[in-house]
Structure formats: structure tokens, C-alpha cells
Structure 1
Amino acid sequence: MVAKDKTAENSDENAAETSGPKLGVRHLQSILIFFGLCVAFMQRVNLSVAIVAMMDRNSTNPDFPEYAWSEQTKSLLLSSFFWGYFLTQIPGGQLAQRFGGKVMLLFSVGISGFLALFTPLSAQLGDWRLTCALRFLQGFCQGSIYPSTHTILARWAPPAERGILATLCFSGSQFGTIIILSISGTLAASKYGWPSIFYISGGCGIIWSFVWLLWGTDSPHQSKIITPKEQNYIESALAVISKSENNSTAVKLSTPWLSIFTSLPFWVLLITNCAYNWGYWTLMTQIPSYIKNVFGKDIKSNALLSALPYTANLVLGLCFCGLAQVLLSAKVLSTNASRKIFNTIGMWVPMAASIALGFVDAGSADLAVILLTVAVGTNSATFLGGFVNHIDLSPNFAGTLMGITNCAANVMSIIAPLVVGVIVTDTTNPIQWRFIFIIMALYYFIGNLLFITLGSTKLQPWNEPVKRDTNHEHIKFQVVAGDLEHK
């Protein structure tokens, strides 16, 4: 291949940025990942909704077993997934970097779906202990989903489209949650009973795996259906990535751990993601309890109200996606400004809503639900901000960065409910809940303040891989050995 000079390369990149196809295989990849995350979250949430029917002693369907599990056992069952999930975040990023995002995503969703099919049998054969072990394995498999997704996006998403394509991908998690919440009640009451919840979510995972195996690819040059125009558009916009891939046989990516952990933009991103997770999971896990105990309104028992925050998150996420596309296309915002503005919307609007929640009168349950929905819905703007910033900093190590930050962020999702348990000793006391909202608001405020002041979208110098040409090393060794022999 004839090498292009810098001028030609820059002109190609500029042309690619302006003449790329509006729709193409990169969007197909994002849609496939959307549905992959959809079925992954169906598998993640299925036990949370099925366990109600599994423990219902007053069930009208006697054909399926019921389990007299204690609340402690129930908590173990529901948390077992996340212990496995936590363990494979960083290894998942390394594996995606080594073997490619396609293989790891296929493994994560496919094996998790296969295990979901056996959940009813595990409960019958080994009661809660075997079910805990199976859920742990599911979480263990799914730990590489987000790092794999970032690894794929780093090779498929041109810089101007990173936020848009990432939002399209990550909205799948909300869609999957909405689907499983909406159909679980009907499935549990059907003649197939609560096991059908696991069969549907597991079966969808198996079907998706076959589709992904056929059409999913790690990068544009591996795709058999991409047009030359789109491939040139993507690879010209991602010059650093294309160079690494074109020399994949001679270049070995060595993770620059020291450079990563001494990078200020990386630490800012990690803190931002931790702050986001603290607020998001406090909202999702504790606010329904707050609304029930303080206002007497049980939104968990109402399928429509239960799915409302996730629906708002999905719809607003897609709206933000469209808005970002318009602003970036019109060159109203730079990439840096876009990341920081949308991250501010995704963290400071929920901050304001959470503070307002703490001061809502006891008779205004509907207002509390609206504020919860606004808070969770606007959280989706972070998909265009901090959530995709890993790829800005280092496309070559985006999966590894995501694994590290998501690992730390998941620690926050474990600690946050524990803090609620310590502070809120009386669940009907609105003053105690107010402290929770203030803590949550502080996390949101500090996390985003650091991101907009110290965060960066510049490609980091440690993104460049350490090059190891094995043939060159072999020749060098022969020369040195010959010199020594001559001496």
C-alpha cells in the first residue's frame, strides 16, 4: 500500500468528516449492541421481578414451586449477581483489548443467557444456594459487557459521533429493564408461570448471540458488508486506530498502567463515574422505599409507575442524542463543550431534583414521583458526557479504562444503600431522608464540577501503544550475537 503524505492524510480526514454517509454499518453495530445490552439487562433484572412470584405463598398457580426464603436470603440472591459482576470489570477490559470486543460481548451475553435458562432448575435442585452460585456466574460473565462495548465503539465511532452512537448503545439497558418490568407480571400469571420469565430473557440472549455472531464485528475493516466510502470515513477520522489495526501483526498493545494511574483526566473521570453511580443507584434502589414509607404510595407494585423512570431515561437519552447530533453537525459546540454541557445536565439537574425531593410535603406523592422521574430521566445525558469520555482519552485502551472506572463505580452502588441503612433508622421520617438527598446532591455537584473544570477530551500521550516488531527484535538479536561471537 502506498503511504500518503501528511497533507493528503489531513485532506482525507477533513473530507471524511464532511462526506460520511448519514446511515451505515456503524449504526447497525450500535443497534446490535443496543439489543445486546437490552437482553443482558433482562437477564440481570429477571430475578428481581420473578422472586416476588417465587415467594408468593398465595399464588393462584399451584403448578410451580414456591420458596419460603427469608428477607436475608432474598438479599443474598439479589446481590449475588453483582459480586460476580464486580470481579470481572478490570479483567474484562483486558480481555476485550486482547481478544476483541466482539468475542467478549458474545461470551458475556450468550453464556449469561444460557445460565438464565437453568435458573428455575437450579432453584428446584439446590434451593437458594445453587441459585446464588448461578447468579454469581451470570454476573461474572456480564462483567466484560461495558468494557467490550467501549472497545468496539472506539473502533467504530468517529469522534464527532461518539456520544450519539454510545447513547444509542447504552439506551438498550433501559429498554431491557422496561421490557422485563412490563411483561413479568403477565408471564408469572400465565400457564407457564414464573419460570417463563427466565426462559424468555435467556432465550432472547441465545437468539441475539447468533445474530451478533453473523453481523457483529470488532472494526470496520473486518466487516463484510460495509461500503468503501463508510470504511474510509471511519478510518480517516480514527487515524490512530487504523494505524494500530493495520499493523496488528507487528504491534503488541501493552497497557500503560503507571501512566493511566498518574493521569489527572483519568482520575477526574473515575471520580465523576463514582459520583454518578452513587446518585443513580440511590435513586433507583432507595427512592421507591422513600415514596412508599413517607407518602404511602407503592410504585414498585405498580408496573406502569415502576417502569416510568426507566422509560424517561430511555426517551430523554434519545432526545439528548438527537440534540447533540444537531449541535455538533452545525458546529455550534465543540466535542469538549458537548461532553461537559451534557454531563452537567445529567448530574446537576438530578442534583436539583433530589434536593427538591427532600422538601416535598407529605401529601404530594405525585410531585415526588415526578421529581424521581425527572432525576432518573435526565441522568441519561451523561451517556454523551463522562460515560463516553474514556474513548476520548484513549481509544486504544477505552475498554480497560471503562473496566477500572466501572469497577470503582460499582463499589459506590454497594456502599450507597448501606449508608442509607445507617442514616435512615426510621423510614417514615422525612428529615432523615433529607440527609440522604443532601449527600446525593453533594456527590453529583462535586463529581460534575471536577469534570467541567479538570476533565479533558484530549487524546492522552499514553494512548500510543508500545511497538514490538518481533522480526526486528530477532534480527537485532542475531546482530548482537554475531558481534559477541566475533569478539
Structure 2
Amino acid sequence: MVLNQTIKEAKLPLFGRRHVQCVLLFFGLSVIYSMRVNLSVGIVAMMDNKAANPDFPEYKWSEKTKSRVISSFFCGYICTQIPAGGWARRFGGKVMLLFTVTSSSIIAILTPLGVGMGDWILLCILRFLQGFGQGSTIPAMATILAKWAPVEERSSLATYLFSGAQFGTVIMLGASGAMCSSPLGWPSIFYIPGALGLSWALIWLWLGASSPSDCKAISQAERAYIESSLNAQKKSADHEMPSKVPWLKIFTTPAFLALLTTHCGYTWGFWTLLTQIPSYMKSVLGKDIKSNALLSSLPYLSMVILGFICCPFVRAFEESKIVSTTVSRKIFNTIGQWIPVITFIWLGYVTSEESDLAVVLLTVTVSISSITHFGWQVNHIDLSPHFSGTLVGLTNSAANVMSIIAPLVVGYIVTDPASPDQWRIIFFIAAGYNFIANLLFLLFGSAKMQDWHGEELKVKEMKPLNDSAVVVQLMQEEKEAI
């Protein structure tokens, strides 16, 4: 593209406002996930205070009650997934994220008080409300990413951004054991993330923006680069923007249905491990809560590192045009979902005497799944940048039904937490689902923009970006202003 080349040759900031937004979203997602996963380790301390700080209350809940408590978050989470995409388009991603982080933080801070007043029932209600508030997170972020990420940088920026989920998981799981054993006890795993969330909300209110046109601090050069890239994609698609969400067309598109199924398969395996690793570590591998927390966080730390390492290589691979975007998505998705099939099955045959091997396999299973960032996880924007938030809401809603069911299935099957045979069934289910999900993505998945796509990107107070001379003039004006 001549225009994009002209802009690139001009002096773009090395670290632009799109990168600032990406960093803010990274830490915002980190805080959100720290409040989402804190209960995975926290509930171990709440049910056995001798393993943490015995000065705080202990609750004698059954395994089924424990599963209900963990699943309650996702019951609320799926309620706002589908409408959240429309809300983000209407009110802007900035407003939606501000709401979700603020509300979730306040509920986190109130949780210890709520448990003391209403036991596990009130805890379930609070987690439901927290999930309800967090339901708009991913759709809002997808909507923002669709406005801020140039087509050439979409995969890499998406990977950096969504790695915040694993980073928050690592920090929370890694520190939760020490926090539960500290003088602040298990309530600290709710207080600290809540306080961090409120701090992030203030920074986001100051620096966040829903799109380049809403950002006063962005340079003309960077804004021209982003919007020309998105406009070029719009022109190549040659579609008119629909006034309403084309629900029927979306649900009859094989590529979308394959994406939805793949998302569900990934989520089943991911959340089975995320919510159950601490229990598996304690019951089968015999790890105490401190080593349990650190070892539980290791897979997610590896996931973050691997995702960051792969970003520049994947971007170079995609820019080389060796294969089409569709083939690229399928290659990386296969790596991220079919290698875990092998490790899940292997985990099913690991005994309690092979705890080191179990940790290695858990680490490989979780970390290699980060490669799906370059597969299905960015595919929503491929199919329709305009409706990306709605598509994310749809697939996330369906996928998080898996997040509700998976812990309940564990509670139903694993009646004896120390039984490797019962855990083997859990690992086999996750392996089978991942295999089938990626197989469907290989057969029907696509990165082609769909004919029902629309684009609402509008350039405010700028000349149309259809002439490279306009861009050159913008560069010169900015240079003179500096």
C-alpha cells in the first residue's frame, strides 16, 4: 500500500499512543484476572486455615459446595457477554472498561465481609455480581483493539494485550499463598486486587481512549497510519455498514460457528486447569499452600513469556505472506490446541510419586496454549472489525458456559480428590474437547472478512486519507509544531 508506506517512511513515534493503550489494557486485564482467579487458591485457605493463617475463619464446605462457589462467577459472567458488544459500540470501550473494573474492585473489597455475614451463599451472590460486571471486559477490549490496531499489527498487539490475563493469573496465583499465610490472612487476596483495580481505573480515566479520534494526545502521523490501514481494509472489503447486527447471517456462517466451537474447547481445558490446579496440587501431589501457589502460577508465567517471545516471529511470518492469513491462523491454532491434547492424556497417567513430571506437563499444557493468541483469539476481528465486540460476546458467552460446567463436572466426578484415576477422567475430557474443537476450526475456520461485515470508523476533523500528499503535509505540520 503506497499510502501506508508513505506514513511508515515518515517519523512515527517509536512508542505511540496505540502502544500506551495496549499497555493500559494489558494491566487492566491483569487486574481483572487477578480478581477472577484469586478464589482458586483462596478457597483452599478458607476451607483449611491450618494450611495458611489459622487466625482467620475456616469454612467446612463440601467439594460440591466449593464447585458451586467457583462456578457462580461464570453464571454472572455469561449474562452480559452478548449485549456488551453493542454497549461498547454505543458508549465506547473506555466507559465499559471503567465500569467493569470499578464495580469488580468494589465487590472484591466487600467479599471478606460478605462471607462472614452470609457464608457460601452470599459469597456465591457476590461472585455472581462480580462476574456480571466483568462480562463486558473482553468485548470492550476487542472493540477498542479493532479501532486502535493497524491491520499489520493486529496479531502482535492482541497477543501483548491478552497476555495480561496470564500475567494477572501468574501474579495472583504466585502471591496468593504468601498472602494467605501473612498477617492479613486470606482476606488479603480480595483486598489487594480490589485496591489495585481502583487505582487502575483512575489511570484509565486519565489516559484511556476508545479510538484514535477520541485521543487528544495522539500525533497526526500515528493517527494517519492507524486509520489509513483500517480504511484500506474497509475499501478492499467493499462492504456497506449494516445498521443492525445481522444475527441470522452470523449464526449461519461456518467460519463463525467453527470459531465459537474452538473457543469453547479452549475454555473448557483452560478453566478446568485454572480453577482446579491448586486442588490437584494439594490433593494428588501433596503440595502445601505456599509451594502450591507458586507451582500453580508457573504454567501461566511460561504462557506469558512464550507469547511475548513468539510475537516478533509471528509478525514477521505474517508480513512475509508465505501463507494466507487463514492458513496462518490454523497453523498456530493447531499448535496451541493439539499439543495440549497429548499432555492432557499424559497427565492422566502421572502418579503421585511423579510430582515433578506433573508440574512439567501442566506447564507445557498451559504455556503452549498461548500460541492460540495467533489463531482463534484474534479471528473475531478478522471476520468483522465492526462487530468484533459482538462476536467476542457471543463466543465468550458460549465458552463461559463451559467455565460453569467444567468445575461442576470436576465436583461430580472427583468425589475423592486424592484419586489419580478420577482426575484422569477430567484430563481425558479436556483432551477430547480440544481435539474436536481444533479439527472443526481446520475444516471450517477462515480469516476472510465476511460479507455481513460493516465498518463504522470515521475520521473526525481530518481530510480523507486517500492521497499520500495529505499524509506528507500532516508530517510536515507536526514537524514544524515540534
Aligning the two structures, in what range does the TM-score lie when normalised by the shorter sequence? 0.7 to 0.9
Going from structure 1 to structure 2, the CA distance change for 1:61 and 1:288 (only over 3 Å counts) comes to closer
**Aligned pair 1:193/2:177, yes or no?**
no
CA contact (8 A) 1:288 1:300 kept: no
CA contact (8 A) 2:338 2:435 kept: yes
**Aligned pair 1:25/2:4, yes or no?**
no
CA contact (8 A) 1:55 1:68 kept: yes
Match of 2:257 in 1: 267
Match of 1:440 in 2: 430
Going from structure 1 to structure 2, the CA distance change for 1:358 and 1:195 (only over 3 Å counts) comes to closer
C-alpha deviations, 1:362-383, integer Å up to 9, x for none?
Answer: 6433122211110100011111
Inter-partner Cα distance in structure 1 for 2:411 and 2:143: 37
Which residue, 2, 20, 23 being the options, matches 1:11?
2
Match of 1:114 in 2: 106
Inter-partner Cα distance in structure 2 for 1:170 and 1:302: 25
C-alpha deviations, 1:289-320, integer Å up to 9, x for none?
Answer: 55665555568852221211111111111112
Match of 2:228 in 1: 236
Which residue, 305, 327, 332 being the options, matches 1:315?
305
Deviates further, 129-138 or 346-355: 129-138
Unaligned residue ranges in structure 2 (runs of 5+): 236-240, 458-482
Going from structure 1 to structure 2, the CA distance change for 1:334 and 1:27 (only over 3 Å counts) comes to farther
Inter-partner Cα distance in structure 1 for 2:179 and 2:139: 32
Aligned pairs for 1:299-378 within 5 A:
302-360=292-350, 363-378=353-368
Aligned pairs for 1:74-89 within 5 A:
74-89=66-81
**Aligned pair 1:391/2:381, yes or no?**
yes
C-alpha deviations, 1:152-208, integer Å up to 9, x for none?
Answer: 111111122111111111111111122122333333343433333322111111110
Letter in 2 for 1:78: I
**Aligned pair 1:413/2:403, yes or no?**
yes
Number of positions where the alignment pairs a residue of Structure 1 with one of Structure 2 = 452
CA contact (8 A) 1:160 1:335 kept: no
Which residue, 127, 130, 147 being the options, matches 1:155?
147
Unaligned residue ranges in structure 1 (runs of 5+): 1-9, 244-250, 468-487
Going from structure 1 to structure 2, the CA distance change for 1:68 and 1:428 (only over 3 Å counts) comes to closer
Letter in 2 for 1:235: E
Letter in 2 for 1:280: F
Letter in 1 for 2:34: M
Going from structure 1 to structure 2, the CA distance change for 1:114 and 1:423 (only over 3 Å counts) comes to closer
C-alpha deviations, 1:121-180, integer Å up to 9, x for none?
Answer: 223343433333222111100000011110011111112211111111111111112212
CA contact (8 A) 1:16 1:237 kept: no
Match of 2:130 in 1: 138
Going from structure 1 to structure 2, the CA distance change for 1:71 and 1:272 (only over 3 Å counts) comes to closer
Inter-partner Cα distance in structure 2 for 1:238 and 1:204: 34
Inter-partner Cα distance in structure 1 for 2:288 and 2:54: 27
Going from structure 1 to structure 2, the CA distance change for 1:25 and 1:79 (only over 3 Å counts) comes to same
C-alpha deviations, 1:49-71, integer Å up to 9, x for none?
Answer: 33344444548867654445454
Match of 1:179 in 2: 171
Letter in 1 for 2:334: T
C-alpha deviations, 1:327-375, integer Å up to 9, x for none?
Answer: 2344445433332222111111111222222344664331222111101
Match of 2:454 in 1: 464
CA contact (8 A) 1:158 1:238 kept: yes
Inter-partner Cα distance in structure 2 for 1:355 and 1:46: 27
C-alpha deviations, 1:456-484, integer Å up to 9, x for none?
Answer: 111111112699xxxxxxxxxxxxxxxxx
Letter in 1 for 2:165: S
Q: Could you state the TM-score of these two structures normalised by the residue count of structure 2?
A: 0.84
The structure whose RCO (Cα within 8 Å, separation 6+) is larger is 2
Deviates further, 301-310 or 37-46: 301-310
SS at match of 2:452: helix
CA contact (8 A) 1:158 1:237 kept: yes
Inter-partner Cα distance in structure 1 for 2:289 and 2:359: 8
**Aligned pair 1:215/2:207, yes or no?**
yes
Going from structure 1 to structure 2, the CA distance change for 1:138 and 1:345 (only over 3 Å counts) comes to same
Going from structure 1 to structure 2, the CA distance change for 1:166 and 1:388 (only over 3 Å counts) comes to same
Going from structure 1 to structure 2, the CA distance change for 1:462 and 1:133 (only over 3 Å counts) comes to same
Inter-partner Cα distance in structure 2 for 1:417 and 1:294: 17
C-alpha deviations, 1:3-43, integer Å up to 9, x for none?
Answer: xxxxxxx5324544776655311111111000001111111
Letter in 2 for 1:42: S
Could you say what the CA RMSD is over the residues aligned between the two structures, in angstroms? 3.0
Aligned pairs for 1:96-111 within 5 A:
96-111=88-103
Q: Could you state the TM-score of these two structures normalised by the residue count of structure 1?
A: 0.84
Going from structure 1 to structure 2, the CA distance change for 1:222 and 1:181 (only over 3 Å counts) comes to same
CA contact (8 A) 1:235 1:241 kept: no
Letter in 2 for 1:36: G
CA contact (8 A) 2:40 2:275 kept: no
Going from structure 1 to structure 2, the CA distance change for 1:306 and 1:261 (only over 3 Å counts) comes to same
Percent sequence identity over matched residues?
Answer: 56
Inter-partner Cα distance in structure 2 for 1:198 and 1:146: 22
Inter-partner Cα distance in structure 2 for 1:114 and 1:415: 27
Going from structure 1 to structure 2, the CA distance change for 1:49 and 1:303 (only over 3 Å counts) comes to closer
